[in-house]
Amino acid sequence: MKTLSSVLLALTTTAVMAAESTPVTPSPALDIARVISVTDTSTACDVVPATMVYIDHQGETHTLTYKVMGICSGV
């Protein structure tokens, strides 16, 4: 009986954790012909926002903001 209770508790805990997690959705592929600039994160030692400015194959300029782990090389 004790084993059955442990198994049920483990399954319930796993189901609750799975329900609370945010699903990851794939991003569409980017059409990048040329990168204009990317935020320098070499001195950051944490997750920081970064921005990339690029031009697509139709000549339009786009700005993409995302989070990245800093390299922490400047410390």
Number of structural domains found in the chain: 1
**Whether pTM exceeds 0.75:** no
24 lies in a domain? yes
Question: Tens of pLDDT along 40-75?
Answer: 988 889 999 999 999 999 999 999 999 999 888 755
Complete edge-to-edge strand list for the sheet that includes strand 47-55: 34-38, 47-55, 61-69
Which residue's entry shows tokens 């954790």?
A: 17
Structural domain boundaries enclosing 41: 2-69
Confidence of residue 7 (pLDDT cuts 50, 70, 90): very low
For residue 6, is it within any domain? yes
- Overall average pLDDT of the 27-31 stretch: 86
Average pLDDT value over all residues in the chain: 78
Nearest in space to 46 (alpha carbons), one of 22, 25, 67: 67
Q: Which two tokens stand for residue 25?
A: 């959705």
CATH of the domain at 11: 2.30.140.50
